[in-house]
A and B are shown apart, each in its own frame.
Chain A
């Protein structure tokens, strides 16, 4: 197992992404950050804090669970549902920035887009991820990326966040033979 992002590198990446989000949307007043549970939700809250530190005002932030819209439900036991909490500003006509830890096949994001469709009609939907490890199976791309990480499909990428795992780190290892 080797480390590909240290705690410091993660922190710098999140700061850079926050600036990029503000720049890409000409300000943060029409942005709603929605993190995909579990770790995407924590990242979204971190980004919200950083952005509001930069702009001086509160940023709308919430969570969006994608379980009910997954396309692989029938091949696995049903998962417990995570909370979907849309902030009071809503998503209608706003710039929704989805936040997740790892972008891989793209199916989670496809499910997130479906879930958003059931809630309302954003002006735009953008995507911020900490790690993009390639191997897309659908035409999905991220607008803001912490680190591009070329991987092989046999490798496992693990994102650790202090809120959940006690420390900040991104690790990569070979999977089972």
Chain B
């Protein structure tokens, strides 16, 4: 496998391999010299057509720790500002000798279009395409859950997760539902009816409109970001009503199980979907998610790129 475009491209063995490799890489990076020579001589391009400091920096750190050369290409293409087309950008990257392109783009399917096209020959890693998927985020989320609640198992069998918020527009939700259920976890989606897509009944997840009744039943509460723009798009009356029913606040924190944890892919809207008190509480692993992100992304880069650059490549 040359690319990582969607969680649905992985089987359970691949997913566990990524997590296990991340464990070892986290250990290796804990030493005094964080660098490993493994991807020396490789050129990795961050093609970010959408603003995202945190994901870009995370991938950049991962690539650099493996001694790869990193080039940042901030291409504001597509709808708003008609920049260079995706095709022309890809042809440029090919000419630059990119071994891998990490692409974040506002259009769903952009990573797959890049991978399926004949425009460039490197590996394509989806760092978030529109409202479709964000595979590395789901992998670092699973890594985090396994670390806290896995009890030494290789998968997430027996763990229950609630994903709460704007599922309709969330690529993090889509990737997480696929990965969590692949690893054996039970997923419940909690959202106002307007923010659940038609067709969600076909997903491998339960659905609930009642946050309070779900909280005591789960080991993980994963909050999704609610974008301010959604308010004006008439999905719910106002921020107050949204927070009242779907915000994670102190009262709801009290309903959580003993060992359970709070997660958020970031960036947070403190006060809207999650209060500052909860975000900073002992149950929250939000900051740790960021650190885990680097190890997981190192694992992805290692497994896709460290091998034979001419052949089928990849351990996956």
Mark A residues whose CB is within 8 Å of B: 65, 68-69, 73-84, 114, 117-120
Taking CB atoms and an 8 Å cut-off, the chain B residues in 299-313 that contact chain A are 302-303, 305-309, 311-313
Q: Which of A73, A75, A81, A120 contacts B25 (CB 8 A)?
A: A81
Number of A-B contacts (CB under 8 A): 62
In the complex, are the beta carbons of A118 and B28 less than 8 A apart? yes
Determine whether B31 belongs to the interface, using a CB cutoff of 8 Å to chain A: yes
B27 x A84 contact (CB < 8 A): yes
Which segment, of B34-42, B70-78, B140-148, faces chain A? Answer: B34-42
Q: How far is the CA of A78 from the CA of B314 in the complex (A)?
A: 6
- The segment from B16-24, B52-60, B113-121 that touches chain A is B16-24
Q: Can you report 9 A-B residue pairs in the complex whose CB atoms are below 8 A from each other?
A: A69-B37, A73-B307, A76-B308, A77-B312, A77-B314, A114-B37, A118-B31, A119-B32, A120-B32
Least CB distance, A36 to chain B, in whole angstroms? 14
On chain A, the residues within 8 Å of B37 by CB distance are 68-69, 114
Contact status B36-A78, CB under 8 Å: no
Complex: how many Å from CA A69 to CA B31?
15
With A76-B307, A120-B31 given, name 13 new contacts (CB 8 A): A65-B24, A68-B302, A69-B37, A74-B306, A77-B308, A77-B313, A80-B20, A81-B20, A81-B25, A83-B27, A114-B37, A119-B32, A120-B32
Closest partner residue, chain A, to B31 (CB atom):
A119
A1 to chain B: closest CB distance in Å? 31
Contact among A78, A83, A114, A120 with B306 in the assembled complex (CB-CB below 8 Å): A78
A80 touches B308 (CB 8 A): no
Any A CB within 8 A of the CB of B315: yes
A117, B28: Cβ atoms under 8 Å? no
Bound-complex Cα distance A102 to B190 (A): 57
